[in-house]
Structures are given as C-alpha cells and as structure tokens.
Amino acid sequence: MKLGIMGGTFDPIHFGHLQVAHAAIQEAELNSVLFLPDGDPPHKTPHTPARQRYEMVRLAIAPESAFWVTDMEIKRKGRTYTVDTLLALKQQAPERALVYLIGSDTLFLFPTWRTAEKVAQLCSMLVMMREGDQEELVRAEQTRLREKYGLQSRLLPIRGLPISSSQVRQACRQGQDLTSLVPPEVAGYIERQRLYAE
C-alpha cells in the first residue's frame, strides 16, 4: 500500500493541487492521496480559518474516490509539523509506504523543516516542477538532500499548472471569474462565504 500525502494551507485549494495529486496517482501507482490542510503552519499565516479551508478541500475532492481529507493537523494544538503527522500515520498503518507530494519550490526549503532527517526516514517525496524552476537545479538539490539527509525523491514528468492560491485570492478581490482556477464547488463556497473579497 502506498499513500500519497499532500499538505498545505489550501487557501484556497485550486486545480494545480488537484493536478499534482492526479499525476502522483498515475506515475507512482499510489493507492490514494490524503490531503492535509494545515492548522497553524510554521512557514505561512493562512488568510482563512482552518475549518473553511478544510471544507473547500472536501468540496474539491468529493468526486474523486482515491482522494480523501483529514483534519488531524487542524485539531492538533500549537504549531503543526510534518514529522508529527508522518509519525501518526505510521502508527496507524506501519506497513504503508508514505509518499509526500511537494512542488519544486518546497524542495529547496526542506533543510528548514523540523527534524528533516526524521522526515526523510519516514517518507519519500514526489516533486512537481513549478513554473520558473530549472530542472538541472532541482535535480542537483535532490542529490544534495539525498546525500545530506537520506531523502529519496523523484521528479514527476510534467510541470505544475501556473496557478497559485495567491493568484486565486487576487482574482477574488478583483471580482474575476474563477472557472479556470478552482472547481465550481469551491468557487461557489468562496462566493457564499464571501472569502478573499478584501
């Protein structure tokens, strides 16, 4: 059994996130992908309360039988760290292989992660190339992280969509159509809750 894990603020979730999850299922033969909305992440300050971000993820992945979402990081008090979540998932199913899904920009931040060496022991990583990142630099970083931390990582063969959550928030502030950025269920929720309007 191989479980893909996609963490993030999802503020909001968008088609770029879903593309990574679909690509990971196909390329790495994952059984499923778990979406992990952050509670109180160390690297970002979310614009939207955790429960609303969780609900947007739930709406976005509802049609996908291989995708599921958990609020385990939202429920955890204080800062949420990837290593704590990975340890909890390993305790639930020790035999299950964990594969963390990240963008190439996040790969370069790996040395700043809490107990990076322990994270490298608990999971491997699938890396989606982000727009603007150079493949040779990403591959060099993969080698460096493998040598320093033992991190096993693999590049996905396609580049990520040029969409970011900040782009979606800006589109909301400007009253633009979100059809090409987020699933219709998410767009409807954003409108009903009047999110990102200011």
Domain housing 69: 2-162
- Mapped onto helix, strand or coil, the DSSP state of residue 191 is helix
Contact 196, 174 (CB under 8 A): no
Would you give per-residue pLDDT tens digits along the chain (198 residues)? 999 999 999 999 999 999 999 999 999 999 999 999 987 666 677 889 999 999 999 999 999 999 999 999 998 877 778 899 999 999 999 999 999 999 999 999 999 998 999 999 999 999 999 888 899 999 999 999 999 999 999 999 888 889 999 999 999 999 999 999 999 999 999 999 999 987
- Counting the structural domains of the chain, the total is 1
With respect to residue 74, please indicate whether it lies within any of the assigned structural domains: yes
With respect to residue 46, please indicate whether it lies within any of the assigned structural domains: yes
Q: What are phi and psi of 26, to 5 degrees?
A: -75, -45
- DSSP helix, strand, coil percent of the chain (3-state; round to 5): 45, 20, 35
Q: Which amino acid is at 18?
A: L
With respect to residue 185, please indicate whether it lies within any of the assigned structural domains: no
Cross-strand partners of 33: 4, 67
With respect to residue 174, please indicate whether it lies within any of the assigned structural domains: no
With respect to residue 177, please indicate whether it lies within any of the assigned structural domains: no
With respect to residue 91, please indicate whether it lies within any of the assigned structural domains: yes
CATH number at residue 60: 3.40.50.620
pTM: 0.92
With respect to residue 176, please indicate whether it lies within any of the assigned structural domains: no
Q: 193: which DSSP letter?
A: H
Angle ∠(161,117,146) on CA atoms, nearest 5: 60
With respect to residue 107, please indicate whether it lies within any of the assigned structural domains: yes
Q: Specify the pairing of strand 97-103 against strand 124-129.
A: parallel
